[in-house]
Amino acid sequence: MSDTIWLRGITAHAHHGVFAFEREQGQKFVLDVGYEVDTRTAARSDSVEDTVSYAEVADALHHLLVTEPLNLVETVAERMAAAVLAFPGVRAATVVLHKPEAPISIPFDDVSLTIRRTPLTVVPLAPVPVSLGLGGNVGDVRGHLRAAVAGLREVLDDVRVGPLVRTPAMTLPESDPQPDYLNTVVTARTRLAAAEVLALAHSLELEAGRRRDARWGPRTLDVDLLAYGDVVSADLELVLPHPGAGERSFVVVPWAALEPERSLDGESLAARSARLSGEILETREDWA
C-alpha cells in the first residue's frame, strides 16, 4: 500500500537549457512532485518522525533545481526523482517539471515533462556497481556463457568475469536428473536503471534460447541480477539482493574471486567461499 504526498508549484529561477542565453540569463521552472509513502504509522503516532517531511523534500528539490545547470528537462526531472527517492520510506516519485518560458517561436502556455520512478526504474546519478550470476546446463553452455559476457561488455562498463565452476544441478524432489551446471559471476558498473539491467539479462537469455517451462528445469542460460548498488527491493519482478545467493556455492565461489571482501549478511564472500567451496566439482580460471 502507498499513499501520495504532493508538493505543487515549487518555483525557481534556474539556468537549465541547451542554448547559451538560457545558461546565462536563466528562466522560470516550476516543479510538482508526488511521493508515495505509507502514512499509516504517522497517522497513528501523529509524529513528524514517522513520515517524510514535505518541508525537507521541498528544500532539497529547490536547492538541486537552482544549483547545477543541465541541458535537458529529461535530465533535470530524473535528478529530481532520484533526490526524492533518497528519502527513507519513499517507494515511488512522480515528477512534473514545467518550463513555461522555453525558447519556442510560437505562442504556447507551457512545456512540461511527467515521469514516475521507483528505486528499480530511476536512472542513477553516477555509475552503480552491479553483480550478475550466469549459468546453464544444456546445449552449448560455454558458448552461451561467452556470448552473454560479450553482450554484457557491449552495454555495461568495467566488466570483470569470475572463474567458471561446475556443480550438480539443483532439482525439485522426484524430478528427472539433469546435467551438471556451469556457473560464473560478472561484476560491472552502469548508468542503467536496475529494471533496465534486468531487461538486458532477459534479452541475453532469450538469445540463448532460454525457455521457462518448469521451475528449476534445464536451462541453456540463466542470468540473474544478484545486486545493484545498495538497492533493497521486495518487488515481485525483482528482489534485491538476490534471495539465497549467499548460500549457493555456484554463486559465492566465483563472486568471491572478484570481490572477496564484499559482505553478505555480515559475512565476507571470502569466508562464505571457504565454507561452501567443497560443493564445487570443478573450477576453470580464464575460461572466457
Task: Dump pLDDT digits (tens) for 15-53.
Answer: 999 999 999 999 999 999 999 999 999 999 999 999 999
- One domain for residues 32 and 73: yes
Q: b/e string for 177-193 if b means 16 or more Cβ within 10 A? A: ebeebbbbbbbbbbebb
Query: Has residue 123 been placed in a domain?
Result: no
- One domain for residues 95 and 177: no
Residue range of the domain that includes 111: 3-117
Report the phi/psi class of residue 161: left, alpha or beta, with left for phi > 0 and alpha for psi in -120 to 50: beta
Of 117, 136, 166, which marks where a domain is finished? 117
- One domain for residues 133 and 250: yes
* Nearest residue to 5 (alpha-carbon basis) of 120, 63, 86, 89: 89
What would the DSSP string read from start to end of 62-82? HHHHHSS--S-HHHHHHHHHH
Distance, CA of 164 to CA of 135 (rounded, Å): 9
pLDDT band per the 50, 70, 90 thresholds, residue 211? confident
Query: Has residue 135 been placed in a domain?
Result: yes
- One domain for residues 188 and 77: no
CATH code assigned at 62:
3.30.1130.10
Q: Which stretches of 233-285 are assigned E, i.e. beta strand?
A: 233-234, 239-240, 263-264, 267-268, 282-284
Query: Has residue 122 been placed in a domain?
Result: no
- One domain for residues 137 and 66: no
C-alpha cell at 140: 552449448
Report the phi/psi class of residue 184: left, alpha or beta, with left for phi > 0 and alpha for psi in -120 to 50: beta
- One domain for residues 167 and 39: no
Number of H helices, E strands in the chain: 8, 14
Of 93, 117, 141, which marks where a domain is finished? 117
With the CA atoms of 232, 120, 2 and 60 taken in that order, what torsion angle do they form, in degrees rounded to the nearest 10? 90
pLDDT band per the 50, 70, 90 thresholds, residue 235? confident
Q: Can you name the residues that pair with 188 across neighbouring β-strands?
A: 130
**Of residues 286 and 171, which shows the higher confidence score?**
286
Catalytic center residues: 99
How far CA 5 is from CA of 11, 32, 54, 58, 104, in Å, comes to: 18, 11, 8, 12, 33
- One domain for residues 105 and 169: no
Give me the residue label for grid cell 574471486. Answer: 257
Domain count, the chain: 2
Global pTM exceeds 0.85: yes
pLDDT(173) > 80: no
Q: Can you name the residues that pair with 186 across neighbouring β-strands?
A: 132, 161
Question: Helices in 68-216 by DSSP H: which ranges?
Answer: 73-85, 141-155, 194-207
- One domain for residues 71 and 105: yes
Of 95, 117, 139, which marks where a domain is finished? 117
- One domain for residues 100 and 136: no
The answer to whether the beta carbons of residues 192 and 229 sit under 8 Å apart is no
The answer to whether the beta carbons of residues 204 and 146 sit under 8 Å apart is no
C-alpha cell at 257: 574471486
pLDDT(215) > 70: no
* Nearest residue to 17 (alpha-carbon basis) of 106, 114, 101: 101
- In a 3-state reduction of DSSP, which class is residue 189? strand
- The whole-number pLDDT of residue 72 equals 97
Distance, CA of 73 to CA of 47 (rounded, Å): 36
pLDDT(172) > 80: no
